[in-house]
Amino acid sequence: MIANTPQPPYYAVIFTSIRSEIVAGYGITADEMVALASEQAGYLGIESARDEIGITVSYWENEEAILNWKRHAAHQIAQQKGRDMWYLAFKTRVCRVERDYGFSSAKSI
């Protein structure tokens, strides 16, 4: 789903990744991290898609919330496993959302 974020400004973390062939533990951990992120202070929403590459964008109230989530103990373990096993490469970009606009057709209601 498209995340239902508030009026800007808020923050986005764009995580773009290329997976390895190692699947063990990946799906469960990814689901756990999405659930755990959603419980953190300052969390606003998440969007994710994968085909040749994966793009996950999480939205946050401020940079402090992003740093707290990055440092969360269970997330730290998952990040290490990501580097060791699940990802060939990734890039994380921390952004300030300046403005946004959207569209929803009558068909989608």
Does 43 bind its own copies (CB under 8 A)? Our answer is: no
- Kindly tell me which residue out of 24, 31, 38, 83 binds its own copies, with binding defined by CB under 8 A: 83
State yes or no: residue 90 binds its own copies (CB under 8 A).
yes
Decide if residue 49 touches its own copies (CB under 8 A).
Answer: yes
Sign of CA dihedral 19, 23, 29, 30: positive
Closer by beta carbon to its own copies, 28 or else 107: 107
Show the CA angle centred on residue 28, arms to residues 57 and 52, nearest 5°.
50
Binds its own copies (CB under 8 A): choice among 42, 43, 47, 61 = 47
Contacts of residue 59, Cβ cutoff 8 Å, sequence gap at least 6: 3, 5, 10, 11, 12, 13, 43, 44, 45, 46, 97
Per CB under 8 A, residues contacting its own copies are 1-3, 5, 8, 12, 14, 16-18, 20, 47-55, 57, 63, 83, 87-105, 107-108
